[in-house]
Amino acid sequence: MKNKIVLFLIAAAFLIALPIFAGQFGAGWVRIMASALLYVLLALGLNIVVGYAGLLDLGFVAFYAVGAYMFALLASPHLSETFEGFKAMFPDGLHTPIWLVVPLAALLAAIAGVMLGTPVLKLRGDYLAIVTLGFGEIIRVFMNNMEHPVNITNGPRGLDRIDSMRIFGFDFGKSLQIGDFTIPSVTLYYYLFLLLVVVSVVICHRLETSRIGRAWMAIREDEIAAKAMGINTRNMKLLAFAMGASFGGVSGSMFAAFQGFVSPESFSLMESVMIVAMIVLGGLGHLPGVILGAVMLAALPEVLRYVAGPLQQITGGRLDAAILRQLLIASAMIIIMLVRPRGLWPSPEHGKAAPNPIKA
């Protein structure tokens, strides 16, 4: 027990000191770490749906988008610039306080999750995967096209000038001055996201050991048996969709505030695939594994951007940073799965039945 506390304190000190140390090498590194934390949040949310409840969701990024657009609409001048009536009501633009907008983003995403979940309750693994994938595409097409006849999302150009996070008048968009020591804005966001990740990990951990969590895992292992044991599989599945989605919604609103700009490009199918890959590569249903997978896939390719220059010169510009990044992610997805099909850090086996004897 004592060891655990010491370990915890060391980890906390390390995570708090990390951006200050990395900041010495430029704000870009801190930015990478902050966005990696956002991916951790997303991965934790998806892990509830896929890892615990066993519902393969390939359209998770839709909920991320719902949260991001929700925040962007309520905290940018777009609505009052587009609609006369809006301007009359809110002459200074709509700067909704985050105590309203973040829960709203979570709620809206949860509703979207239930909306997706309801028609597909009866579907099994792969069918569900393809339907959720389609759902993600539907949301993306809407984001791309909802500028005619009424301009809501501003189409492919996206929404910009989004407010930064403000909590009790404290602005995360400005750097903080303590004496003669300055903490840049991006580091503040890092701490905010870190806090959210810690809270989410606690929530996920509690969920995992709760009745709900065990019901989800029962559904994952054998749905018919779970039903026979009196678990309301319909409600439990919908709850998993809603909870996972609300994580996505919160991360989305954070993303919008952090970037100050959202466009449909950030919510492509590729992002969904990345998040699924993160949790599967890390270790499905196992919190440390999920976090490892998210950090690895989010941060490593970004770090690579800094070393890609020389390689680009060698290959005559054919291998630029973006291509190299994709190449790395793709090979990681294939190689890790071939070497460790259960993920890098899988949950320890707990009295599970032997895997299905597979044909051929």
Interface residue list for other proteins (CB under 8 A): 56, 119-120, 122-127, 129-131, 133-135, 137-138, 141-142, 144-145, 148-149, 269-270, 273, 276-277, 280-281, 284, 318-319, 323, 326-327, 329-334, 337-338, 341-342, 355, 358-360
Of the pair 58, 256, the CB lying nearest other proteins is at 58
The CA distance from 129 to 123, in Å, is 9
Q: Is 200 exposed, middle or buried (0-12, 13-18, 19+ CB in 10 A)?
A: buried
Closest of 28, 63, 29 to residue 44, by C-alpha: 63
The CA distance from 73 to 152, in Å, is 8
Of the pair 203, 319, the CB lying nearest other proteins is at 319
Shortest Å distance, C-beta 227 to other proteins: 14
With contact defined as beta carbons under 8 Å apart, do 95 and 163 qualify?
yes
Shortest Å distance, C-beta 208 to other proteins: 19
Indicate the helix (H) or strand (E) that contains 170. strand 170-171
Name the residue type at position 4.
Answer: K
The CA distance from 292 to 43, in Å, is 10
Of the pair 179, 341, the CB lying nearest other proteins is at 341
With contact defined as beta carbons under 8 Å apart, do 48 and 277 qualify?
no
Of the pair 179, 355, the CB lying nearest other proteins is at 355
Name the residue type at position 77.
Answer: P
Shortest Å distance, C-beta 22 to other proteins: 29
DSSP conformation letters of 238-257: HHHHHHHHHHHHHHHHHHHH
The CA distance from 250 to 160, in Å, is 19
Shortest Å distance, C-beta 233 to other proteins: 14
3-state SS, residue 315? coil
CA-atom Rg of the chain in angstroms: 21
Of the pair 23, 244, the CB lying nearest other proteins is at 244
Of the pair 23, 282, the CB lying nearest other proteins is at 282
Of the pair 89, 141, the CB lying nearest other proteins is at 141
Of the pair 4, 148, the CB lying nearest other proteins is at 148
Token pair listed for 339: 């070497």
Shortest Å distance, C-beta 145 to other proteins: 5
With contact defined as beta carbons under 8 Å apart, do 300 and 328 qualify?
yes
Shortest Å distance, C-beta 249 to other proteins: 21
Indicate the helix (H) or strand (E) that contains 93. none
Shortest Å distance, C-beta 335 to other proteins: 8
- Nearest 10 degrees: CA dihedral of 80, 81, 83, 89? 30
The CA distance from 105 to 253, in Å, is 7
Query: What's the distance, CA 286 to chain centroid?
Result: 16
Shortest Å distance, C-beta 127 to other proteins: 6
Of the pair 127, 306, the CB lying nearest other proteins is at 127
Shortest Å distance, C-beta 305 to other proteins: 15
